[in-house]
Amino acid sequence: MDAACYGHLATSRDTVWPLLIKNLTRVPINEPDDESSRSSRISYAIGGHLQVDLATLLGMFGAIAVLIWAVVAGGSSDIFVNVPSVLIVLCGTLLIVLIKFNMAQALRAVVVAKRAFINKLGTPDELIAQIMEIGTVARREGLLALENIEVESEFLQRGINLLVDGAEPDAIKTTLERDLRETAERHRWGAKVFSALGEVAPAMGMIGTLIGLVQMLSSMDDPKQIGPAMAVALLTTLYGAVLANVVALPIADKLALRKTEEAKLNAICIDGVLGIAGGENPRVLESMLKIYLAPKERDREKGEEDEKPKLKSVA
């Protein structure tokens, strides 16, 4: 074989093998490739992180610690423990609240109560950044490119699924708004259970006080019975006030706040999904969604380090 032939084979080998290697390794596992191929296989790691509500913990346990300190500093703490008073206030309050609600609502309120201490909702600016990147993918590659996108927010994921299924904007709006109302209604009932606890506990404390006074007045001829009866009369009022104002009512108010925050985030999701469905320009969509932010947050400096959605490849 002549030198020209050898030169041709060498040139072909040098040209073909790099192309084969490039094609085989074009989409490496767990490594980012080109933007267009990566965008259809992304998932977001925001919106589902658990965050302890320090305000609730500091407020509630701080108030309890102050009360315990006041009891211990004043002398013997045994005088503040009275079993009949505890039964009247605690058991009586729980039983009366069960009369107001059905068993499912009462048990659901216990589960919902953890939302006062642990918050897994993202922030509006995080959610807007997430929706913007999803909208960019949809505008560049089409709505079907959103099929493999995964988000932690169940509400936003439901909207994305409707987009992929080809639902009309009116159908998407109706479905998501109905979901928004039903979610808000469930959370409202959870807050109402704790509001009822806050209303009933002081009343049970007053009932215990009346019981103690009746016992005290009926045993005026026996001085030994006056002390225990007076303890029941005063401690039930104390227990009822603490249960209502330190535990039940603050949790009810915090659950109402959570409901408002979640409703705001879900409204952002609805507007974002509808904007993506309508093919809005990403910049226009961003301006529309930033209406939900406070003015200072809208004009935040670019140099600030904000939490943004992190992209990761999905197999």
**What's the pLDDT tens digit per position in 162-205?**
988 888 889 999 999 998 898 888 888 889 999 999 999 999 99
pLDDT band at 302 (very low <50, low <70, confident <90, very high): very low
pLDDT for the residue numbered 133: 86
* For residue 261, pLDDT beyond 60: yes
pLDDT for the residue numbered 305: 41
Closest by alpha carbon to 289, among 277, 300, 301, 273? 273
Q: Provide the percentage of residues in the chain whose pLDDT is more than 90.
A: 22
Residue 8 lies in a domain: no
Range of the domain at 202: 35-309
pLDDT for the residue numbered 214: 86
pLDDT for the residue numbered 49: 57
204 burial type by CB count under 10 A (0-12 exposed, 13-18 middle, 19+ buried): buried
Residue 222 lies in a domain: yes
Residue 21 lies in a domain: no
Residue 15 lies in a domain: no
pLDDT for the residue numbered 18: 42
Residue 115's CB is within 10 A of a number of other CB atoms, namely: 23
User: What domain count does the chain have?
Assistant: 1
* For residue 207, pLDDT beyond 60: yes
Residue 11 lies in a domain: no
pLDDT for the residue numbered 39: 40
Residue 9 lies in a domain: no
Residue 314 lies in a domain: no
Residue 240 lies in a domain: yes
Over residues 148-155, mean pLDDT: 82
| Crossing angle of the two packed helices 154-164 and 124-141, in degrees rounded to 10 | 10
pLDDT for the residue numbered 34: 46
pLDDT for the residue numbered 44: 41
Question: What's the pTM value of the predicted model, to 2 decimals?
Answer: 0.71
Residues ≥6 apart with Cβ < 8 Å to 309: 44, 45, 46, 126, 129, 130, 133
Residue linked to tokens 């998501």: 176
* For residue 245, pLDDT beyond 80: yes
CA distance 77 to 72: 6
Residues ≥6 apart with Cβ < 8 Å to 51: 118, 119, 120
CA distance 272 to 137: 13
